[in-house]
Amino acid sequence: MYLTYYNGQWAEGNTPLFGAMDHSVWLGSSVFDGARALRGHLPDLRPHLERVVTSAEKLGLTCPLSVDEMEALVREGVARFPADAELYIRPLVFASEGFLIPTAEAAAFALTLFDAPLPPFAGFSACLSPLRRPEPTMAPTDAKASALYANTARALRDAKARGFDNAVLLDAAGNVAEFATSNLFLVTHDGEVVTPALNGTFLAGITRARVIALLGEAGVNVVERTVKAEELDTAREIFSTGNYGKVTPCTRYETRELPAGPVARQARERYLAYTETT
Ligand code: PMP
């Protein structure tokens, strides 16, 4: 089921939101986020809602609702689904008015919730994308801006055409940034657990931060540093973090098979245990 809140009302189905003149439709002035409800638990909901506000600000938009107001709506929406539902929660802020520059005060808000079972701890394949993440002077890379996802779609389409599920994107300097749709962790050939240090070119994932903290509590130190593409060729484990799949092992990188390894498994288990506390 799709459930959308817009303009003070809840509606089921693919609710129309846009007008033909809306700035966001023509010129990409929209930001969104993705959070999850897992059997009544709402892991890191507030950071996701806070990021909607800051993403909007980075595009010069003003989110018309406060984080508290958005949280209340999310809880209201979740309560309309069965208690054991696994949902995807998507708040959206988009500009309606403005010709070239969107009118910040006229930004609108919509919230969509829909059934999306948490994918199992099953492996996915990934290749190295020919596309790179733009650097901050080239695009609003630190916002979850819809416009950036045109490149995500290009990278995924290319990966799928080559027989892979996902793609690793390098940053503009040629170092590993993230997967097309999630952040990237690896365990190097000598056992160091690493994730690319935030450098403003890719999303500062909320799941990424949570997994670093949870692994740290378990005595596994995650090193945030520059990661060279070649390190992926010799890694013992590669895995992704993101709100949709949480922690998912990459079990084929280019031509090489990798295990769904112990660090990824531990991160996934700890994340799910943490979810129960939210
Ligand atoms: N990078 C990209 C490009 C994403 O779309 C996502 C999913 N939001 C992530 C990383 C992971 O971020 P988070 O853990 O905050 O969902």
Q: What is the pTM of this model?
A: 0.97
Residue 178 alpha carbon to ligand 1 centre in Å:
9
Tokens of 106: 């006229």
Residue with tokens 């998507």: 90
The region of weakest confidence among 66-75, 133-142, 167-176, 215-224 is 133-142
Which pLDDT band, with edges at 50, 70 and 90, does 52 fall under? very high
The larger pLDDT score, comparing residue 114 to residue 106, is at 114
Query: In 142-275, where does DSSP find H-type helix?
Result: 149-161, 206-217, 230-234, 262-275
Q: Is there a contact between 1 and 81 (Cβ–Cβ < 8 Å)?
A: yes
The predicted structure's pLDDT at residue 105: 84
Mean pLDDT of 195-204: 96
Q: What is the residue-averaged pLDDT of the chain? A: 97
Residue 273 alpha carbon to ligand 1 centre in Å:
21
Query: In the chain, where does DSSP find H-type helix?
Result: 23-27, 45-58, 67-78, 149-161, 206-217, 230-234, 262-275
Phi, psi of 276 (to 5 degrees): -65, -20
pLDDT tens figures, 142-160: 899 999 999 999 999 999 9
Nearest to 73 by CA among 112, 130, 39, 25: 112
CATH number listed for the domain at residues 2-115: 3.30.470.10
Distance from C-alpha of 257 to C-alpha of 240, rounded to nearest angstrom: 16
Query: In 14-148, where does DSSP find H-type helix?
Result: 23-27, 45-58, 67-78
User: Which residue lies with its CA nearest to atom 10 of ligand 1?
Assistant: 182
pLDDT tens figures, 10-38: 999 999 999 999 999 999 999 999 999 99
Residue 158 alpha carbon to ligand 1 centre in Å:
19
**The ligand 1 atom nearest the CA atom of 47:** 15
Q: Does the interface ipTM go beyond 0.95?
A: yes
Q: Percent of the chain, pLDDT > 90?
A: 98
pLDDT at residue 169 greater than cutoff 90: yes
Mean pLDDT of 158-180: 98
Instruction: Confirm or reject CATH 3.20.20.150 for domain 124-275, answering yes or no.
Output: no
Residues lining ligand 1, judged by CB closer than 6 Å? Answer: 34, 178, 181-183, 203, 205-208, 241-243
Residue 182 alpha carbon to ligand 1 centre in Å:
4
Q: Is there a contact between 235 and 254 (Cβ–Cβ < 8 Å)?
A: no
Domain edges within the chain: 2-115, 124-275
Residue 186 alpha carbon to ligand 1 centre in Å:
17
Query: Which of 51, 183, 210, 244 for mutating ligand 1's site (highest number of atoms within 8 Å of CB)?
Result: 183
Q: Is there a contact between 254 and 213 (Cβ–Cβ < 8 Å)?
A: no
